[in-house]
């Protein structure tokens, strides 16, 4: 397991605090400010920073992240430039970095060159969204050999057999999506989130992060009742889009993450620390 990812979830367990995973699209609104956004997320207290590779033909991304990919692609965003971005930002980040990508850019680069370049850039975990778990073995081993964690996405319709496969192949944490469909902020946490987490915990001791649709402190607090971490993506990406032309962009990112952490930080202060 990646040392940085393992340390984060160990610390969360010790303090009794829900983790916050933040997703942004690499290169949005442009490559220069994208690094500043990563540093802002880290300063504001994101426990894990997830960086998406812009892709022209997404399967699971809703309109907000699709538009972010379009902006990033127009600004020159590619798998190579995102890895360069992470390498630039890495020294200023305490949080582990998870690269969120589709399979096409990885296989175009080549599995072994990709793994070597990602590890050298400081990537801690890799989630290849559209790679079927039944076909993930070779790339998974290449990622592990490079010292990174392969992370798998699980949905409410994932079968028990595939849950077990993910438990065997995954490292770092498992990523549960709280609802079917594409990414996008919602008003309420999906009712099936806790049931999915229970199914995952029945077959795996890995930490569980849950995302899709989360956008507010109360959502993070609700997810914390069953999972180890909450993932916020579309709402953050939308906020970046709205503030992209403002000098307030970076402070706005920090304020939003601090707001998301509001309830979980209050809860942690009353937690019992264990050795």
Per the domain annotation, does 65 fall within a domain?
Answer: yes
Q: Is residue 199 part of a domain?
A: yes
Listed range (103-112, 126-135, 184-193, 215-224) with the worst mean pLDDT: 184-193
Position 260 scores a pLDDT of 95
- Residue 87's alpha-carbon distances to 38, 83, 93, 120, 235, in angstroms, are 11, 6, 10, 8, 25
H-helix or E-strand spanning residue 25: strand 19-25
Q: How many domains does the chain have?
A: 1
Active site residue 222: no
- Residue in 28, 42, 47, 61 annotated catalytic: 61
Q: Note the pLDDT of residue 118.
A: 98
Residue 268: its pLDDT value, please?
A: 56
CATH number of the domain where residue 24 is located: 3.20.20.70
pLDDT classification of 62: cutoffs 50, 70, 90: confident
Residue 130 annotated as catalytic: no
The secondary structure element, H or E, covering residue 143 is helix 137-145
Residue 161 lies in a domain: yes
Query: Do the domain assignments include residue 228?
Result: yes
d(CA 169, CA 167): 6
H helices within the chain, ranges in order?
3-15, 31-44, 63-74, 79-90, 103-109, 111-121, 137-145, 160-169, 193-203, 217-223, 234-243, 249-260, 262-269
Statement: residue 262 has pLDDT above 50: yes
Q: Would residue 271 count as lying in a domain?
A: no
pLDDT for 143 equals: 98
Which is more confidently placed, 58 or 90? Answer: 90
Q: Mean pLDDT for the chain? A: 90
Residue 165 predicted with pLDDT over 50: yes
Confidence of residue 274 (pLDDT cuts 50, 70, 90): very low
Give the mean model confidence (pLDDT) for residues 124-131. Answer: 96
Q: Which of 42, 47, 50, 222 is catalytic?
A: 50
pTM: 0.91
Query: Is 270 part of a structural domain of the chain?
Result: no
User: What confidence tens digit (pLDDT) does each residue in 4-44 have?
Assistant: 999 999 999 999 999 999 999 999 999 989 999 999 999 99
Residue 220 has pLDDT above 90, yes or no: yes
Range(s) of the domain holding residue 254: 3-265
């Amino acid at each position: 397991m990646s040392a940085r990812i393992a340390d984060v979830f160990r610390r969360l367990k010790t303090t009794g605090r829900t983790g916050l995973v933040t997703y942004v699209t690499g290169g949005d609104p442009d490559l220069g400010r994208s690094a500043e956004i990563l540093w802002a997320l880290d300063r504001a207290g994101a426990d894990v920073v997830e960086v998406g590779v812009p892709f022209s033909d997404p399967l699971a991304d809703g309109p907000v992240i699709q538009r972010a990919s379009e902006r990033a692609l127009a600004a020159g965003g590619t798998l190579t430039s995102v890895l360069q971005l992470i390498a630039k930002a890495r020294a200023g980040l305490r949080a582990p970095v998870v690269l969120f990508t589709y399979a096409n850019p990885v296989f175009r680069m080549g599995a072994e060159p990709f793994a070597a370049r990602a590890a050298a850039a400081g990537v801690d975990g890799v989630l290849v969204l559209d790679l079927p778990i039944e076909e993930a073995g070779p790339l998974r081993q290449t990622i592990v050999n490079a010292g990174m964690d392969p992370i798998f996405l699980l949905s409410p319709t994932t079968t028990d057999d595939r849950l077990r496969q993910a438990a065997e192949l995954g490292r770092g944490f498992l990523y549960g999506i709280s609802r079917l469909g594409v990414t996008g902020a919602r008003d309420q946490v999906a009712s099936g989130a806790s049931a999915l987490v229970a199914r995952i915990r029945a077959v795996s001791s890995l930490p569980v992060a849950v995302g899709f649709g989360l956008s507010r402190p109360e959502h993070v607090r609700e997810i914390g009742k069953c999972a180890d971490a909450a993932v916020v993506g579309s709402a953050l990406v939308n906020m970046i889009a709205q503030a992209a032309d403002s000098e307030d962009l970076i402070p706005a990112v920090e304020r939003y993450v601090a707001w998301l952490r509001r309830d979980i930080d209050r809860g942690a202060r009353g937690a019992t620390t264990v050795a």
